[in-house]
């Protein structure tokens, strides 16, 4: 590997990430470019050395040109001979071309005469735009190359690097100028290719984090004295992770591409737009006022909230957006990005699908969230988490037959915390795996405790398993180990999964469920009808229960009219020999309707609120007396 690429990447502050294929392709391009540059530079230096030596010789000969004209002519022929990859020229002290080497035809397709007629003015403009400083520097042994672009005989654009060497007589009067020209088109194309790999997101084609940082630093420098306001808009797509986990990365990737493309269409050319990772994007609006900015953000939100049709699915997403403005909310890239991110999280915690402008008070909110993440891991080790138990009741007899374990957190400083405050944090930080293992272990520990009470009716307990845990854990191994550790029968435990689990690696998920079922553990399909599942897979699953989401129960008419969708779900479950559990039953008319439709089980506040394990045990004991 050429020794310089790694240093150069470090030197420009590259902090992006590439997968193995991207990294291999990138390094291959870099190595090719550096190796080619080394070869060309070596050849170029030889040419410069030859030219410098020749220049000195020409200067000496020039003074005696009338005495020995044949010597000067001989040298000029040598200098202007055909050379591969380069051509040479000589200009007089006024900048007019005297001659050009035959290599011009090899490189650009022009004859010498046609080149002098069509292109020589380009070289004059380039070399004389700052002639005084150029000559001053060259007198002290330095050469400043410049680049020009022109079209060759076939109309193709060529990039040329020009190095000019002034020739002086003994009195330091300019005699003539020698030029060496090389074609750097391929070099520039390679450089552009590498720049794209460094600065642009491979999936969406828009700027990546590194390019965003470079452009922001430039913008900050430009506005240091002007104090023009610009806005950093941090966008996080709501529910994207859920779509990615359930439907697969191919659909997730296509969704990101379409979203990025659609947002790009409502931006101005001067706006900066980048994907900085996962489902996070940043837009920078320049020279803004508050009213104009809100209109722009509303337009972006409208684009994102449109339905997205991808591979047969119609997907709905929204965005949580945070805004930080220069210079009010920060004068550095780090502060502006951090504060826009904080404002975005405030939007997310406020119900998603909205945008929030940064306020200094938000820093306390972030501190609280970060503290919760840290406290959660410690709380699991210290025994701060526990269950409340929601009784599951037979509709036909009002008999309690099982319970659902609902996790709670007794925080030492903040008091009782419900799952909606910490489950998303656990999902986003990976703590959900540790939390999920605790849930399985605690469920088996509770069942064992209940068994020791010698109550005739054994406790049947259901627990919720997250999609991420189910997909990434050896669920069979974890559950089996917990059952054996506490000497609990598999039939006393039931896991509740959502139908969205089945939307990724369906066959693999079916195998996992069947393996768990071999432990006699019950399987309950939760929130049925709210996800992306298809009915075709229901008969392939070893599902014991179908849980009807509260939204369907809420839709039961008070006047006794039919709820066709709910009736259909119950009838279908019966056909597949599944028990039907209705969640969120809070009114008597709902209970009666479900009983008439032969729903098996109900739960929620109409019968009982969630209670402690001691209260649950006491209730079961009283029913046996």
pLDDT, greater one: 337 or 312: 337
SS3 category, 283: strand
| Burial per residue of 75-100, b for 16 or more beta-carbon CB atoms within 10 angstroms, e otherwise | ebeebbeebeebbbbbbeeebebeeb
What pLDDT, on the 0 to 100 scale, is given for residue 132?
Answer: 46
- Note whether residue 366 is domain-resident: no
Do residues 582 and 548 make contact, with C-beta atoms less than 8 angstroms apart? Answer: yes
Q: Are residues 178 and 299 in the same domain?
A: no
Do residues 347 and 354 make contact, with C-beta atoms less than 8 angstroms apart? Answer: yes
Full DSSP string of 541-566? S---EEEEPHHHHHTS-TT----HHH
CA–CA distance, 178 with 100 (Å, rounded to integer): 10
Residue 584, both tokens: 């969120």
pLDDT tens digits, one per residue of 430-450? 899 999 999 999 999 999 999
CA–CA distance, 344 with 237 (Å, rounded to integer): 10
Mean per-residue pLDDT, 58-63: 44
What pLDDT, on the 0 to 100 scale, is given for residue 101?
Answer: 87
Among 49-63, 137-151, 383-397, the least confident range: 49-63
Sign of CA dihedral 602, 608, 611, 615: negative
Do residues 176 and 184 make contact, with C-beta atoms less than 8 angstroms apart? Answer: no
Q: Are residues 318 and 356 in the same domain?
A: yes
- Note whether residue 87 is domain-resident: yes
Q: Are residues 444 and 308 in the same domain?
A: no
Q: Are residues 499 and 614 in the same domain?
A: yes
Mean per-residue pLDDT, 543-567: 85
Q: Are residues 241 and 164 in the same domain?
A: no
Mean per-residue pLDDT, 509-534: 82
- Note whether residue 433 is domain-resident: yes
- Note whether residue 422 is domain-resident: no
Mean per-residue pLDDT, 583-598: 91
Mean per-residue pLDDT, 76-99: 72
Residue finishing a domain among 126, 158, 190 = 190
Q: Are residues 183 and 220 in the same domain?
A: no
Mean per-residue pLDDT, 171-186: 86
Please, which pLDDT band fits residue 125 given cuts at 50, 70 and 90?
A: very low
CATH number at residue 514: 3.20.20.450
Range of the domain at 253: 200-360
Provide the CB-side half-sphere exposure for 393 (13 A, CA).
27
Question: For the purposes of burial, counting CB atoms within 10 Å of the CB of 340, is it exposed (0-12), middle (13-18) or buried (19 or more)?
Answer: buried
Q: Are residues 169 and 243 in the same domain?
A: no
SS3 category, 575: helix
Partners of residue 549 on adjacent β-strands: none
Provide the CB-side half-sphere exposure for 455 (13 A, CA).
22
Please, which pLDDT band fits residue 318 given cuts at 50, 70 and 90?
A: very high
Backbone phi, psi, residue 604, to 5°:
125, -165
pLDDT at 154 over 60: yes
Q: Which distant-in-sequence residues (6+ apart) come within 8 Å of 1 by Cβ?
A: 27, 31
CA–CA distance, 201 with 21 (Å, rounded to integer): 14
Sign of CA dihedral 436, 437, 441, 444: positive
pLDDT at 184 over 50: yes
pLDDT at 414 over 90: no
The distance between the two most distant Cα atoms of the chain, rounded to a whole number of Å, is: 134
Backbone phi, psi, residue 388, to 5°:
-105, 155
Provide the CB-side half-sphere exposure for 57 (13 A, CA).
15
CA–CA distance, 41 with 35 (Å, rounded to integer): 10
Q: Are residues 301 and 335 in the same domain?
A: yes
What pLDDT, on the 0 to 100 scale, is given for residue 614?
Answer: 93
Residue finishing a domain among 129, 160, 190 = 190
Residue finishing a domain among 164, 190, 216 = 190
Q: Are residues 92 and 212 in the same domain?
A: no
pLDDT at 579 over 80: yes
Mean per-residue pLDDT, 295-321: 92
Provide the CB-side half-sphere exposure for 152 (13 A, CA).
14
CA–CA distance, 410 with 390 (Å, rounded to integer): 18
Please, which pLDDT band fits residue 127 given cuts at 50, 70 and 90?
A: very low
- Top-ranked range on mean pLDDT: pick from 81-85, 228-232, 530-534, 560-564: 228-232
Q: Considering the chain, what is the average pLDDT of its residues? A: 82
Q: Are residues 492 and 347 in the same domain?
A: no
CA–CA distance, 413 with 378 (Å, rounded to integer): 13
Residue 327, both tokens: 């210079």
- Note whether residue 544 is domain-resident: yes
Among 132-146, 322-336, 547-561, 571-585, the least confident range: 132-146
Q: Are residues 96 and 119 in the same domain?
A: yes
Residue 399, both tokens: 């008999």
What pLDDT, on the 0 to 100 scale, is given for residue 486?
Answer: 96
**Tally of domains in the chain:** 3
Please, which pLDDT band fits residue 61 given cuts at 50, 70 and 90?
A: very low
Q: What percent of the chain has pLDDT over 90?
A: 39
Mean per-residue pLDDT, 241-256: 87
Q: Are residues 74 and 169 in the same domain?
A: yes
Q: Is the pTM of this model over 0.75?
A: no
- Note whether residue 575 is domain-resident: yes
Q: Which residue has the tokens 């820093």?
A: 363
What pLDDT, on the 0 to 100 scale, is given for residue 170?
Answer: 82
- Note whether residue 618 is domain-resident: yes
- Note whether residue 47 is domain-resident: yes
CA–CA distance, 266 with 303 (Å, rounded to integer): 8
pLDDT at 5 over 80: no
Mean per-residue pLDDT, 162-176: 83
CATH number at residue 261: 3.30.70.270
CATH number at residue 99: 3.30.450.20
Residue 609, both tokens: 């609120």
């Amino acid at each position: 590997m050429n020794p310089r690429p790694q240093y150069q990447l470090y030197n420009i502050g590259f902090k992006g990430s590439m997968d193995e294929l991207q990294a291999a392709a990138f390094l291959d391009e870099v190595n090719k470019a550096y190796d080619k540059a080394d070869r060309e530079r070596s050849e170029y230096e030889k040419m410069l050395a030859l030219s410098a030596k020749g220049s000195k010789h020409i200067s000496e000969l020039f003074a005696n040109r009338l005495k020995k004209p044949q010597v000067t002519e001989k040298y000029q022929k040598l200098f202007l001979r055909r050379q591969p990859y380069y051509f040479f020229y000589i200009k007089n002290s006024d900048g007019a071309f005297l001659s050009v080497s035959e290599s011009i035809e090899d490189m650009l397709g022009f004859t010498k005469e046609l080149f002098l007629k069509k292109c020589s003015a380009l070289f004059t403009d380039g070399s004389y735009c700052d002639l005084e400083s150029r000559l001053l520097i060259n007198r002290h042994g330095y050469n400043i190359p410049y680049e020009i672009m022109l079209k060759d005989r076939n109309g193709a654009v060529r990039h040329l690097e020009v190095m000019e060497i002034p020739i002086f007589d003994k009195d330091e009067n300019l005699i003539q100028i020698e030029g060496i020209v090389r074609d750097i088109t391929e070099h520039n194309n390679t450089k552009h290719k590498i720049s794209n790999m460094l600065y642009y997101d491979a999936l969406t084609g828009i700027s990546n984090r590194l390019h965003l940082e470079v452009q922001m630093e430039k913008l900050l420098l430009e506005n240091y004295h002007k104090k023009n306001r610009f806005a950093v808009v941090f966008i996080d797509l709501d529910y994207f992770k859920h779509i990615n986990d359930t439907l697969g990365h191919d659909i997730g990737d296509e969704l990101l591409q379409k979203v990025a493309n659609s947002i790009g269409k409502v931006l101005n050319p001067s706006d900066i737009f980048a994907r900085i990772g996962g489902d996070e994007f940043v837009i920078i609006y320049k020279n803004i006022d508050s009213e104009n900015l809100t209109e722009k953000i509303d337009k972006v939100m409208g684009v994102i909230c449109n339905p997205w049709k991808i591979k047969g699915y119609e997907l709905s997403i929204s965005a949580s957006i945070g805004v930080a403005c220069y210079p009010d909310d920060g004068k550095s890239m780090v502060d502006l990005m951090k504060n826009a991110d904080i404002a975005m999280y405030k939007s997310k915690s406020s119900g998603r699908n909205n945008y929030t402008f940064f306020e200094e008070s938000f820093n306390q909110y972030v501190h609280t969230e970060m503290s919760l993440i840290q406290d959660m891991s410690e709380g699991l080790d210290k025994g701060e988490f526990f269950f409340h138990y929601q009784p599951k009741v037979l509709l036909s007899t009002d008999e309690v037959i099982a319970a659902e374990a609902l996790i709670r957190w007794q925080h030492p400083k903040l008091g009782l915390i419900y799952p909606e405050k910490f489950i998303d944090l656990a999902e986003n930080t990976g703590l959900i795996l540790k939390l999920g293992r605790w849930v399985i272990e605690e469920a088996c520990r509770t069942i064992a405790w209940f068994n020791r009470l010698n109550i005739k009716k054994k406790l049947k307990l259901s627990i919720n398993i997250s999609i991420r845990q189910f997909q990434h854990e050896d669920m069979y191994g974890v559950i089996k180990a917990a059952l054996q550790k506490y000497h609990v029968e598999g039939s006393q435990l039931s896991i509740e999964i959502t139908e969205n689990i089945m939307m990724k690696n369906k066959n693999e998920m079916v195998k996992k469920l069947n393996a768990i079922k071999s432990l006699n553990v019950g399987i309950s399909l939760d929130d049925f009808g709210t996800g992306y599942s298809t009915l075709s897979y229901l008969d392939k699953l070893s599902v014991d229960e179908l849980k009807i989401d509260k939204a369907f129960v809420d839709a039961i008419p008070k006047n006794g009219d039919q709820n066709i969708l709910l009736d259909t779900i119950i009838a279908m479950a019966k056909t597949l020999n599944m028990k039907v559990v209705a969640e969120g039953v809070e009114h008597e008319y709902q209970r009666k309707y479900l009983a008439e439709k032969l729903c098996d089980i109900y739960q929620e506040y109409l019968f009982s609120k969630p209670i402690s394990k001691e209260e649950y045990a006491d209730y079961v004991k009283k029913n046996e007396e």
